[in-house]
Amino acid sequence: MQLVNHGVDGGLSRQIKADVSEFFSLPLEEKSAVAIPPNGMQGFGHHFVFSKEQKLDWVDLLFLATRPVEERSLDFWPKKPPTFRDTLDKYTAELANVAEQLFRFMAEDLGVDHDALLGTFKGLPQCVRINYYPPCRQADKVLGLSPHTDGVGMTLLLHVNDVQGLQIRKGGEWFSVQALPGALVVNIGDVLEILTNGKYKSIEHRAVINPEKERITIAAFHSLHLPCTIGPLQELGNPHYKAIDGFEFTKGYFAAKLEGRRYLESLKL
Ligand SMILES: O=C(O)CCC(=O)C(=O)O
Ligand SMILES: [Fe+2]
């Protein structure tokens, strides 16, 4: 689903695009000032690295926890460009508002109690994964991001430049998503699929690489308020998914190493 971006001020959206592009254009030594530490998650580097032999995804990323605000680790927030921190703070606050509105509309659409749905996302916990996909002449030999579903409630994706690369899987086939200018792509994640008892489907997706042009995107993940138990909302009939502790779910998601819908399918009854 693409949402024309009324929720985010145009100037702010331009500013975040400029700051993010500037960060990735810095020399490696400068970006490494916020490198992900061994066994860490936040900062600049790579995720889902399990062995020296594996083929890596063709992407550099900057991953930051942005909400709740008091849990930010500012050490990993770049100081260059100097406007970066302030812009990211404002941009992510706006996106949290958009996410909250969408959760409300979804509750309405499903005819469920707002609190039952919104309670799972209380305080709107949020992380951003800023993806920089370098071009690759042999683009068909690499993947920017392996097929996966997002292990969260909902992702709001902004294209920083106009290079296409996102694909979604439907009926076993891959379809390219053409980003509309000024729009956010809204991706349903695993947690919403479980909560809605499968009425909303977590979309399997991947990112492909352009042979000539770099591609930059900002994924803002809206995730669980922990601790909690995730299970289908009672109003939605016989449950089709097991109820699972939120921490267990997150551990299982990362252990499943980006293998399409495999982990989510394992939670079906
Ligand atoms: O860059 C994209 O198009 C997809 C990003 C994505 O799926 C993610 O960061 O989880
Ligand atoms: Fe994703």
- Tokens encoding 129: 């994964």
Does the structure show a pLDDT above 90 at 125? Answer: yes
Pocket test for ligand 1, best of 148, 152, 205, 261 (most atoms within 8 A of CB): 205
Mean pLDDT over 7-11 rounds to: 71
Residue 203 CA: which ligand is closest? 2
Question: Does any ligand 1 atom lie closer than 6 A to the CB of residue 215?
Answer: no
Q: How many domains does the chain have?
A: 1
Query: Who wins on pLDDT, 4 or 49?
Result: 49
Instruction: Provide CB contacts within 8 A for 47, sequence distance 6+.
Output: 36, 41, 61, 63, 129
What gap in Å lies between CA 212 and CA 222, rounded to an integer?
Answer: 32
**Nearest residue by C-alpha to atom 1 in ligand 1:** 217
Give the pLDDT score at 55.
72
**How many whole angstroms from 114 Cα to the centroid of ligand 1?**
28
Give the pLDDT score at 5.
55
Query: Who wins on pLDDT, 27 or 261?
Result: 27
**Nearest residue by C-alpha to atom 5 in ligand 1:** 219
**How many whole angstroms from 51 Cα to the centroid of ligand 1?**
22
Q: Of the candidates 252, 254, 246, which has an alpha carbon nearest to the alpha carbon of residue 119?
A: 246
Whether a cis peptide bond, with omega within 30° of 0, leads into 81 is yes
Give the pLDDT score at 34.
98
**How many whole angstroms from 131 Cα to the centroid of ligand 1?**
7
Question: Does any ligand 1 atom lie closer than 6 A to the CB of residue 149?
Answer: no
Give the pLDDT score at 260.
75
Query: Who wins on pLDDT, 91 or 8?
Result: 91
What gap in Å lies between CA 257 and CA 67, rounded to an integer?
Answer: 24
User: Which is the closest atom of ligand 1 to the Cα of 177?
Assistant: 3
Could you read off the pLDDT of 189-214 as tens digits, one per residue? Answer: 999 999 999 999 999 999 999 999 99
**How many whole angstroms from 52 Cα to the centroid of ligand 2?**
23
The position carrying tokens 């909303």 is: 200
CATH value at residue 48 = 2.60.120.330
From the centroid of its chain, how far is CA 93? 15
Give the pLDDT score at 157.
96
Question: Does any ligand 1 atom lie closer than 6 A to the CB of residue 150?
Answer: yes
Could you read off the pLDDT of 127-158 as tens digits, one per residue? Answer: 999 999 999 998 888 899 999 999 999 999 99
Give the pLDDT score at 7.
54
Contact 209, 135 (CB under 8 A): yes
Please give the residue range of the domain that contains residue 200. Answer: 2-266
Model-wide pTM > 0.90? yes
What gap in Å lies between CA 240 and CA 157, rounded to an integer?
Answer: 28
Reported confidence tier of residue 8, pLDDT bands at 50, 70, 90: low
Q: Percent of the chain, pLDDT > 90?
A: 81
Pocket test for ligand 1, best of 46, 59, 131 (most atoms within 8 A of CB): 131
3-class DSSP string for the chain: CEEECCCCCHHHHHHHHHHHHHHHHCCHHHHHHHECCCCCCCEEECCCCCCCCCCCCCCEEEEEEEECHHHCCHHHCCCCCCCHHHHHHHHHHHHHHHHHHHHHHHHHHHCCCHHHHHHCCCCCCEEEEEEEECCCCCHHHCCCEEEECCCCCEEEEEECCCCCCEEEEECCEEEECCCCCCEEEEEECHHHHHHCCCCCCCCCEEECCCCCCCEEEEEEEECCCCCCEECCCHHHCCCCECCEEHHHHHHHHHHCCCCECHHHHHCEC
What gap in Å lies between CA 98 and CA 102, rounded to an integer?
Answer: 6
What gap in Å lies between CA 99 and CA 256, rounded to an integer?
Answer: 26
Could you read off the pLDDT of 85-117 as tens digits, one per residue? Answer: 999 999 999 999 999 999 999 999 999 998 989
Give the pLDDT score at 48.
72
Reported confidence tier of residue 65, pLDDT bands at 50, 70, 90: very high
Question: Does any ligand 1 atom lie closer than 6 A to the CB of residue 202?
Answer: no
**How many whole angstroms from 214 Cα to the centroid of ligand 2?**
18
